[in-house]
Amino acid sequence: MARAYSVIELLVVLTLALLLCGVGMPTLLAARDDVRADGAASFLVSELRQARMEALRRNAQVAVRFEADGDDYLLAFYVDGNGNGVRSAEIASGADAVLRPRERLGQQFPGVGFGFEDDVPDLDGSSSAGNSNPIRFGSSRMVSFSPTGTCSSGTVYLHGRGHRQLAVRVLGGTGRIRTWVFNFGIRQWSSR
C-alpha cells in the first residue's frame, strides 16, 4: 500500500524551500556581482596585455584609449601609423588607425562600471572625492605600449554593484599590470 502525502505536508515543505531560497538569495546575488566585477578587472588586464603583445608583434606603438561615452567609456585599440607614437590628433585625422571595434565593458559585465564607490581612497591614499576621474594615465585617458615592452603608467578604477572596488594599475618601466581590491572592512587596498 502506497503512502500518500497530505496537502498540508506539501505546503509545509514548499514553504520551507521558499524560505531557504529567500534567505540565501541576497548572498547569491552579492556573490554574482562580485564575480562580475572581478571578471571585468581580469578582462581589462587581458586587454592591456593583448595591446602590449600587439606592440611587440607590430614593432610599433599600440595604445588602448578609454573614450568617454556619457557616464561610461569605450575601449579602443590604436596603432601608430607614422612612427611618432599614438596621439589623439592623429587618431582624429586617421594617421593612427583603429585596430578593432570599440567595446563597452558593461556589455560583457552588467553592473560593472568605471569609477569609485563612495568614500574610497585611490591607491595612493588620497580621497577619490577630489578627483573622480576613474581613468588616470597622466593627463590622458590612453595607455600606450612600446615595441620594447615599456608603457605609460597609470590606473583604471572599476566598481561593481554592492561594495566591490577594484583598480588595474599599469607600471610604465616594466609594463607589468596588477589588479588591486579594496577591502571595506579594514579600509585598505590589497594586491591580487
Task: Please write the tens of the pLDDT for every residue from 29-81.
Answer: 556 678 889 999 999 999 999 999 999 999 999 999 999 888 889 999 999 99
Kindly tell me the burial class for residue 137, based on how many C-beta atoms sit within 10 Å of its own C-beta (0-12, 13-18, 19 or more).
buried
Would the pLDDT of 104 be above 80? yes
Examine the pLDDT at 153 and tell me if it is beyond 70: yes
What lies within 8 Å, CB to CB, of 58 at 6+ separation is: 79, 147
pTM comes to: 0.81
Q: Which pLDDT value is given to residue 22?
A: 73
Better-predicted residue by pLDDT, 15 or 152:
152
21: pLDDT confidence band, cut at 50, 70 and 90?
Answer: low
Q: Which of 157, 153, 191 is nearest to 41 (CA)?
A: 157
pLDDT for the residue 148: 92
Q: Give the three-class secondary structure for 149.
A: coil
Please enumerate, as own/partner, the contacts of 56-64 that have beta carbons within 8 Å and a separation of 24 or more: 56/147, 56/149, 58/147, 59/147, 60/147, 61/85, 61/86, 61/144, 61/145, 61/146, 61/147, 62/86, 62/99, 62/144, 62/145, 63/96, 63/142, 63/143, 63/144, 63/145, 64/142, 64/143
In a domain, 27, yes or no: no
81 C-beta neighbours (distance < 10 Å), count: 16
Structural domain includes residue 2: no
Q: What is the mean pLDDT of the chain?
A: 87
> Largest Cα–Cα distance in the chain?
88
In a domain, 23, yes or no: no
In a domain, 111, yes or no: yes
Range of lowest pLDDT (24-33, 46-55, 84-93): 24-33
Segment 134-162 mean pLDDT: 91
How many domains is the chain partitioned into structurally?
Answer: 1
Give dist(CA 37, CA 40) in Å, integer: 5
CB 144 within 8 A of CB 86: yes
- As a whole-number percent, the residues of the chain with pLDDT over 90 amount to 53
Residue 183 is part of which domain span?
32-191
pLDDT confidence of residue 151? 92
Mean pLDDT of the 104-132 span: 81
Mean pLDDT of 135-155: 92
Structural domain contains residue 3: no
Sign of the dihedral defined by the CA atoms of residues 10, 11, 17, 21, in that order: positive
Please tell me the predicted confidence (pLDDT) of residue 25.
61
DSSP, collapsed to helix, strand or coil, labels residue 32 as helix
CATH number of the domain encompassing residue 77: 3.55.40.10
Residue 122: inside a domain, yes or no? yes
132 within a domain of the structure (yes/no): yes
| Dihedral of alpha carbons 125, 178, 135, 147, sign | positive
4, part of any domain? no
Spatial separation of the C-alpha atoms in residues 151 and 149, rounded to whole Å: 7
Q: Nine-digit cell at 163?
A: 561594495
